[in-house]
């Protein structure tokens, strides 16, 4: 038999070890890009797919390894625990695991994309349809500043908690643990107490927002399981606190510098941002033929005191009846998003759209093709695309396109 070598052995020298589980083509592609384009020091500090470089463990690998997932998930169900242990380097690290928002980005992939678009500490990246603010968390971990805009106030809450929790006072966190019984009594009403709900960032209230998000997480969990919110709230809250405390320890040990975040409730069609103020964009538009974000989050939105119907009227992807009209309105809105992105990004900066595709639901219309046309119409130059399969039987999307554009205004 000829000497057999795996693809990764052929691509990388033995002293460059990939993160465990890096086995999909798109991941190996990203790893190769990192190997060919980052300096040795940047590979150690910023790479998403390397475990060690010439014997030195990378920051990403250490950040994940320093978190004690066994401790964090000691009271989680076996299923939840297995999910996070399997996603140790891809989804479950830092504060990404707080709240399971459907359709969120793969954080490890976002790290690779931040490297590809070339943003550095001091730069500001934007996600104009930010959901649970995965881009903000990942950018902040690399000391890059970020702006997250989402029309949903519930997403605003997720974004504030996840970014705030990257850098907080551990003592005040312990206070929440001690007060959890009293906090539960206040939260366990038909509607959130008014002092809990706000749309701006405020340090003092942010500690209580951690408990509020845990409560809303437990509320969703209780709907899907046979357990009541009384049983689930302490489990979820303690998992949140343990996750945050664990990350804080890793952050201190590794001396990580954390970038700053602005979390804004607003519309991607009319961004509350200055012209030429943004150094890079990574986003994923709602694709509501697959996920109706308002229906999905309805109990939580109502509890927070928002009218889901009103919110639906300003949501991309939820307008119109029948596939043809829905698609027309969807593309009209995305055209406006590209016009806004052209305005707020600096010339030459990169914009990435991650687009799920399932042409059975759209009666043959390929979203990625139409999105390329819209971008071109707003003077974005198309640079390249990467195909990423979506795994899991429950997903109606079978693949995602990662489309990379450059602002050529």
Ligand X SMILES: C[S@@+](CC[C@H](N)C(=O)[O-])C[C@H]1O[C@@H](n2cnc3c(N)ncnc32)[C@H](O)[C@@H]1O
Binding to ligand X (CB under 6 A) within 306-325 occurs at 314-316
Q: Does 155 bind ligand X (CB under 6 A)?
A: yes
48, 116 in Cβ contact below 8 A? no
Is 400 a binder of ligand X (CB under 6 A)?
no
Which of 129, 222, 327, 352 contacts ligand X by CB under 6 A?
A: 129
Distance in Å, CB of 131 to ligand X, minimum: 3
* Piece in contact with ligand X (CB under 6 A), picked from 44-52, 67-75, 127-135, 217-225: 127-135
From the CB of 319, what's the least distance to ligand X, in Å?
A: 10
108 binds ligand X (CB under 6 A): no
CB of 52 to ligand X, least distance (A): 28
Q: Decide if residue 152 touches ligand X (CB under 6 A).
A: yes
d(CA 118, CA 113): 9
* Nearest-angstrom CA–CA distance, 237 and 346: 41
d(CA 396, CA 35): 34
Binding-site member from 84, 105, 184, 233 for ligand X (CB under 6 A): 105
Looking at residue 291, the DSSP 8-state letter turns out to be -
> Which residues, other chains included, contact 402 with Cβ-Cβ below 8 Å and sequence gap of 6+?
26, 113, 352, 353, 354, 385, 386, 387, 388
| Minimum CB–partner distance for residue 305 and ligand X (Å) | 17
Q: Indicate whether 353 belongs to the interface with ligand X (CB under 6 A).
A: no
Q: Which of 284, 300, 362, 407 binds ligand X (CB under 6 A)?
A: 284
User: Pick from 132, 243, 349, 407: which binds ligand X (CB under 6 A)?
Assistant: 132
Q: Considering the rule CB under 6 A, would residue 153 count as an interface residue with ligand X?
A: no
Q: CB–CB of 50/19 below 8 Å? A: yes
* 174, 179, 181, 186 alpha-carbon torsion, rounded to 10°: -130
Cα 390 to Cα 284, 310, 320: the distances in Å are 14, 32, 27
Using CB under 6 A, which of 56, 258, 269, 383 touches ligand X? 269
Q: Which of 151, 102, 153 is nearest to 303 (CA)?
A: 153
Nearer to ligand X, 17 or 91 (CB): 91
Which CB, 214 or 268, lies closer to ligand X?
268
Residue 145 sits in the site that holds ligand X (CB under 6 A): no
Please report whether residue 140 would count as binding ligand X according to CB under 6 A. no
134 binds ligand X (CB under 6 A): yes
Cα(183)–Cα(177) distance, integer angstroms = 10
Count of residues in contact with ligand X, rule CB under 6 A: 23
Q: Position of tokens 């920051």?
A: 59
For residues 33 to 72, the per-residue mask of contacts with ligand X, x marking binding by CB under 6 A and - elsewhere, is ----------------------------------------
The reply to whether 349 sits near ligand X by the rule CB under 6 A is no
CA dihedral of residues 124, 383, 96, 388 (deg, nearest 10): 180
286 binds ligand X (CB under 6 A): yes
Which listed range, 8-16, 97-105, 138-146, 338-346, lies at the site for ligand X (CB under 6 A)? 97-105
Per CB under 6 A, does 267 bind ligand X?
Answer: yes
Best CA proximity match to 26, nearest among 399, 406, 351, 369? 399
DSSP state of 287: -
Question: Binding of ligand X at residue 341 (CB under 6 A)?
Answer: no
Which of 111, 100, 26 has its CA nearest to residue 63? 111
Q: Select from 160, 285, 297, 161 the least CA-distant residue to 219.
A: 297
User: Is 94 among the residues that bind ligand X (CB under 6 A)?
Assistant: no
Distance CA 238, CA 168 (A): 16
Closer by beta carbon to ligand X, 101 or else 221: 101
- Say how far apart CA 112 and CA 46 lie, in whole Å: 8
What residue number has its CB nearest to ligand X? Answer: 131
Smallest gap, in angstroms, from Cβ of residue 172 to ligand X? 26
In the complex, which residues of this chain contact ligand X (CB under 6 A)? 101, 103-105, 129-132, 134, 149-152, 155, 267-269, 284, 286, 293, 314-316
């Amino acid at each position: 038999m000829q000497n057999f070598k795996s693809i990764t052995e052929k691509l990388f020298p033995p002293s460059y070890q990939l993160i465990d589980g890096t086995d999909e083509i798109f991941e190996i592609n990203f790893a190769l890009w990192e190997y060919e384009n980052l300096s040795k020091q940047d590979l150690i500090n910023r790479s998403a797919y390397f475990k060690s470089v010439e014997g030195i463990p990378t920051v990403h690998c250490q950040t994940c390894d320093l978190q004690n997932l066994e401790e964090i998930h000691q009271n989680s169900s076996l299923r939840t625990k297995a999910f996070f242990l399997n996603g140790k380097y891809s989804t479950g690290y830092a504060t990404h695991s707080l709240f399971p928002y459907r359709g969120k980005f793969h954080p490890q992939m976002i790290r690779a994309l931040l490297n590809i678009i070339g943003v550095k500490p001091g730069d500001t990246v934007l996600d104009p349809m930010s959901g649970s603010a995965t881009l903000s968390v990942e950018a902040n971990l690399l000391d890059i500043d970020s702006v997250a805009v989402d029309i949903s106030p519930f997403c605003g809450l997720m974004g504030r908690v996840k970014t705030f929790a990257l850098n907080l006072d551990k003592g005040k966190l312990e206070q929440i643990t001690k007060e959890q019984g009293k906090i539960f009594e206040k939260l366990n009403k038909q509607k959130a107490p008014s002092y809990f709900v706000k749309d701006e960032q405020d340090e003092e209230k942010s500690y209580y927002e951690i408990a509020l998000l845990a409560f809303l997480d437990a509320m969703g969990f209780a709907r899907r399981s046979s357990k009541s919110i009384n049983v689930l709230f302490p489990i979820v809250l303690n998992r949140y606190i343990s996750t945050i405390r664990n990350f804080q320890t890793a952050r201190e040990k590794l001396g990580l510098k954390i970038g700053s975040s602005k979390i804004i409730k607003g519309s991607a069609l009319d961004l509350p941002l200055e012209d030429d103020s943004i150094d890079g964009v990574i986003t994923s538009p709602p694709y509501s033929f697959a996920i109706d974000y308002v229906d999905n989050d309805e109990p939580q939105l109502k509890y927070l005191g928002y009218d889901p119907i009103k919110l639906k009227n300003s949501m991309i992807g939820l307008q119109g009846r029948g596939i043809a009209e829905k698609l027309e309105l969807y593309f009209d809105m995305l055209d406006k998003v590209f016009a806004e992105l052209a305005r707020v990004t600096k010339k030459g900066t990169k914009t990435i759209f991650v687009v799920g595709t399932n042409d059975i639901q759209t009666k043959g219309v390929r979203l990625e093709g139409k999105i390329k046309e819209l971008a071109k119409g707003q003077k974005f130059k198309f640079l390249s695309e990467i195909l990423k399969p979506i795994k899991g039987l429950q997903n109606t999307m079978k693949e995602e396109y990662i489309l990379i554009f450059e602002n050529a205004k």
